[in-house]
Amino acid sequence: MAIQLENLVQSIKSKVRSLKKSKKPYVKMDKSASVKVEIRSKKARQLIDKTLKVADHPGKRSIF
């Protein structure tokens, strides 16, 4: 069991070393238009919820 674990660790180390040697180990993908729209709508929904919560309790605190 210990020998298998050592072999696994060695193989992981060698793969990590090979990735470090290459200039670009991965290609960063840009967000698609639909993901950007979803992020904006989530932020808008959070702002609306926050505003409504503050409006339910006037005089307690400000929105920002």
Q: Give the model's pLDDT for residue 64.
A: 56
Q: Give the model's pLDDT for residue 22.
A: 67
- Check whether 41 has a pLDDT greater than 90: yes
CA pair distance 51, 41, nearest whole angstrom: 15
* Residue 43 pLDDT level (bands cut at 50, 70, 90): very high
SS3 3: helix
- Check whether 26 has a pLDDT greater than 80: no
Under a CB-based contact definition with an 8 Å cutoff, are residues 20 and 33 in contact? no
Q: Tokens in use for 29?
A: 């993908």
Give the least confident one: 9-13, 22-26, 33-37.
22-26
Per-domain residue ranges of the chain: 2-56
* Residue 59 pLDDT level (bands cut at 50, 70, 90): confident
